[in-house]
Amino acid sequence: MKFNVITFGCQMNVHDSDWLIRAMESRGWKAVSESEANIFIVNTCSVRDKPEQKVYSVLGRLGRLCTSPGDFVAVGGCVAQQIGEGFLKKFPFVRLVFGSDGVAQAPQFLEELAADHKKKLVLNDFLAKYPEREGGLANPNEELLPPGIGTIPGQAFVNIMQGCDNFCAYCIVPYTRGRQKSRLSSAIIEECTALVKSGVREITLLGQNVNSFGIDKKGTDLSFAELLYKVSAIDGLERIRFTTSHPKDLAPEVIKAFGELPNLCPQLHLPVQSGSDNMLKKMGRKYDRERYLGIVEGLKETCPNIVLTTDIIVGFPGETDEDFEQTMDIMERVRYESSFSFKYSDRPGVAAVKMTPKVPEDVAQKRLARLQERQKHITRESLEELVGDEMIILLERPSKRQAEGGIAWRGKDPGGRVVNIFFEGGDESLQLGGKLVKVKITESKNHSLIGEKVGNPW
């Protein structure tokens, strides 16, 4: 069977899609480009209106590609969870709908549907426990798959939990991903250990709110900090990252870990959403700016070179000019190295839908533009400060932009910054992905750095 996967949304969706591709390939299916495929899997995101609308336009396109009786589309992820059976009714070529807890079973059902052209299925039940997935890396005897697994050589993502219990007033995720379920810590350690044995050097622990790992007591007796120390101790693991963190659950022990664990990367994505106490309260974030700034101070004290990034929403219902100024102010205080910022978007069923007054689109747009312009400057200034520094880079793949006489590679520093490095005389077949190299930063760009190698990659 030839299949193609289209992915929208967050790192968790990307990770689910990666797993699904490996699981189907291990069953003898072949991942191909869209024009060659017979079966299409669309992994969807519902966090704002825009990505949801994209799903419908993609389905229109795929519908035209489903020309033979065996061709069909499977819709997975958050819009699938939200709309469910509606997809089968609206689009005759959609034959499988699976939500986040259905991913583990999707391979089996994809096979069934490929064998029986009349069958249609919806896998939208939330399960009581974290659903372990078989295949992919969980099967170390898998020979079909290249070592290193994930899409970037040497790097891998490991799920530690599913779902979210926070119900922030604007957010649809608790409805689409269900209740928080921590994964068994033994399964996490086992997967991480196997990955490191297979050549992985950097692991990112994934969850909607990793700091509350273990709080649900579904599958583990460890706190997130304890889990971090255990993963950090895996012999041969050079780098650990984790995402996403909710400030309200960031324990002092986790802050301490940034000072103690040598392989914990100095990087933290800490979504603030707003700098205004009024807005934070209405959003149901359960921290105020003072507490947030206290956490940032603690992090900077423990780990002076920590790279902080964030998510910001502008135009939340009731946001005044003064509220917005507070957000601009918190940006100056923290000096995020980069941020994802969004205009508030009404989502079906969330508490904020009923909150008023809504901020007019043009006001929200102006605020967003101003915030993004300021961020651009801060990003540029922070990157400039790094020129002349030496750092270790984990190489990923050849850079998009190339120059004569060699080949440029893209990699990341411990802080997660993109660094491009030129290798003289190298050719594309040079196997540098997953290798580490020491570089000296020679130039900074708007969003990335340029470095030259000091010594050979290892």
Q: Point out which residues bind ligand F3S (CB under 6 A).
A: 9-10, 12-13, 45-47, 77-78, 172-173, 176-177
Where on the chain is the footprint of ligand SAH (CB under 6 A)?
A: 47-48, 170-171, 173, 208-209, 244, 246, 271, 273, 311, 313, 342, 344-345, 347
Q: Phi and psi for 260 in degrees, rounded to 5?
A: -110, -35
Two tokens at 96? Answer: 């499988």
Of ligand F3S, ligand SAH, ligand SF4, none, which one sits near residue 344, judging by CB under 5 to 8 A according to partner kind?
ligand SAH
The Cα 75–Cα 94 span in angstroms is 7
**Selected range binding ligand SF4 among 38-46, 96-104, 169-177, 399-407, rule: CB under 6 A:** 169-177
Closer residue to ligand SAH in complex, CB, 277/311: 311
- Interface with ligand SF4 includes 209 (CB under 6 A)? yes
Cβ closest to ligand SF4, residue 266 vs residue 271: 271
Answer yes or no: are the C-beta atoms of 119 and 95 closer than 8 Å: yes
How many whole angstroms separate alpha carbon 382 and alpha carbon 254?
A: 25
Report in angstroms how near the CB of residue 167 gets to ligand SF4 at its nearest. 6
Other Cβ atoms within 10 Å of 381 Cβ, number: 12
For residue 453, list its beta bridge partners. 439
Q: CB nearer to ligand SF4: give 171 or 250.
A: 171
Q: Whole-number minimum distance, CB 277 to ligand SF4, in Å?
A: 17
Locus of tokens 């839908």: 353
- What are residue 155's DSSP bridge partners? 202
166 binds ligand SF4 (CB under 6 A): yes
Query: Given the complex with ligand F3S, which of 82 and 338 has the nearer CB atom?
Result: 82
Helix extents (H) in 335-402: 361-384
Nearest CA to 164 out of 97, 80, 223, 78 is that of 78
- Within 225-284, which residues bind ligand SF4 (CB under 6 A)? 246
CB of 70 to ligand SAH, least distance (A): 36
Q: Among residues 190 and 311, whose Cβ is nearest to ligand SAH?
A: 311
| Cα–Cα distance measured from residue 283 to residue 171, given in angstroms and rounded to the nearest whole number | 9
| CA–CA separation, 416 and 394 (whole Å) | 10
> What residues line the site for ligand SF4 (CB under 6 A)?
164, 166-168, 171, 173-174, 208-209, 246
